[in-house]
Amino acid sequence: MSQSIHVSDVRDERSEGSAPALERGGVAPVLRLVRTLRSSGEVRADGPAPREVSAAAGSAAPPRRGLLGTLRRVRDAVVEDLDAAVARDPAATSRAQMAIVSPGLHAIWTHRVAHRMWAQEELRLPARVLSNVARAATGVEIHPGAQIGRRFFIDHGMGVVIGETAEIGDDVMLYNGINLGGRTLAKGKRHPTLGNGVTVGTGAKILGPVVVGDGAQVGANSVVVKDVPAGHVATGIPARHRPGRADADLYDVLVAEPALWI
Ligand SMILES: CC(C)(COP(=O)(O)OP(=O)(O)OC[C@H]1O[C@@H](n2cnc3c(N)ncnc32)[C@H](O)[C@@H]1OP(=O)(O)O)[C@@H](O)C(=O)NCCC(=O)NCCS
């Protein structure tokens, strides 16, 4: 098991003490980011709580360090994303096909880089620029500050907006035309938190710092402005929620009702 830390730990490390004068500008922020990534094992945006620091020390082999270790972790993360996408897109035929044609994957991969840059104060402008490039290429706008977990997938991509303070857990799936937006101009937490295993249907808007619980589903074109309990299905404008079907596992739904997901 590899040691992992949350990106906030990188921020903490960065803010310790004052940087030497030579390190305050130019390529120094980039070098610091690379050093941090190399020395810390795996930096993950884990989504909503808990923001664990999984200390595998003593219980497993230490993480590989150096450039090779970093490349292996990146490869593993990419393969994990690809497998999640293949499992969730009935039109997918292979990892290679998805790697080439899926705008959702291109958007999330770019975001993972932009999010790490965002942790460095000096790299925030380039992070925004990178995220704008991804937006132009994919139609998916993810603010670099948004925290997104593992195996995230956006099917079809186009028209998705994810705000700065949004938090997204593991195994979350979004369709096109979704907004995880704010309802206030005040700074601070103003975007939604999606738990693990949440699915959001096409065209849905989830607005404000609401919490959508683990395994919840948000129906197509719904507008969610209140919390949705774990395992519930929210539909309508404004969305009302009801308990989900006991068997409403995403993969079962995909197999049983493929036409729903075309
Ligand atoms: C919300 C959703 C997950 C519910 O699925 P489900 O649990 O199988 O629910 P059902 O199909 O049994 O419908 C239950 C009720 O909710 C209603 N309903 C379903 N989806 C709805 C929606 N998006 N908005 C409003 N009402 C909806 C149904 O009309 C039905 O109403 P009724 O009980 O009065 O007849 C699903 O309908 C949905 O919207 N999925 C998103 C699919 C999507 O975005 N696909 C994009 C492909 S590109």
Domains of the chain: 7-59 (no CATH), 66-260 (2.160.10.10)
What is the residue with the minimal CA distance to atom 31 of ligand 1?
235
Predicted TM-score (pTM) above 0.85: no
Write the pLDDT tens digit of every residue in 186-200: 999 999 999 999 999
Residue pLDDT, tens place only, 94-153: 999 999 999 999 999 999 999 999 999 999 999 999 999 999 999 999 999 999 999 999
Q: Tell me the pLDDT tens digit for each residue of 36-88.
A: 444 444 334 343 343 333 333 445 667 777 899 989 999 999 999 999 999 99
CB count within 10 Å of CB 25 equals 10
Q: Is 212 helix (H, G, I), strand (E, B) or coil?
A: strand
Question: What is the per-residue pLDDT across 161-185, written as a single tens digit (0 to 9) for each?
Answer: 999 999 999 999 999 999 999 999 9
Return the residue whose CA atom lies nearest to atom 47 of ligand 1.
261
- Return the pLDDT at 6: 39
Residue to substitute in 174, 235, 249 for testing ligand 1 pocket (most ligand atoms within 8 angstroms of CB)? 235
Rounded Cα gap, residues 92 and 97, in angstroms:
7
Torsions phi, psi of 96, nearest 5?
Answer: -60, -45
pLDDT reading at 23 higher than 50: no
Q: How far apart are CA 198 and CA 213, in angstroms?
A: 7
Distance 238 CA to ligand 1 centre (A): 15
Q: Contacts for 19-27 with beta carbons within 8 Å, 24 or more apart?
A: 24/122, 25/122
Cα gap 135→140, rounded to integer Å: 5
- Please report which helix (H) or strand (E) contains residue 9, including its range: helix 7-15
